[in-house]
Amino acid sequence: MAADHRLEDDELARRLREAHRRVRMLPAADRERLGRRYLAICDLAKRDPGRAAARLESLMALLDTPRDAENTHGD
């Protein structure tokens, strides 16, 4: 059973690293906002990995959605 818990922790750690990489590549305004959200998820992972995984899934879904270009309207 301890090995199963370890595998879940490894998966969460891998997904957190992936989220960090993706947040780091965002434009400054998005990076700041989503970086704070990412840090909150990391903090939660120390206390409640299950809830952190759910919040991380939400963040990753947000990162997967295409963003509209802010300055292209009206050009």
**pLDDT band with cut points at 50, 70 and 90 for residue 67:** confident
Top pLDDT among 69 and 29 is at 29
Chain segment 31-49, per-residue pLDDT in tens: 999 999 999 999 999 999 9
Q: Provide the pLDDT for residue 69.
A: 52
- ∠ CA 46-20-63, nearest 5°, is 110
Q: How far apart are CA 65 and CA 53, in angstroms?
A: 19
Please answer whether residues 15 and 3 qualify as being in contact, where contact means their C-beta atoms are separated by less than 8 angstroms: no
| Mean pLDDT, range 8-34, rounded to an integer | 94
Compute how many other C-beta atoms are within 10 angstroms of the C-beta atom of residue 59. 19
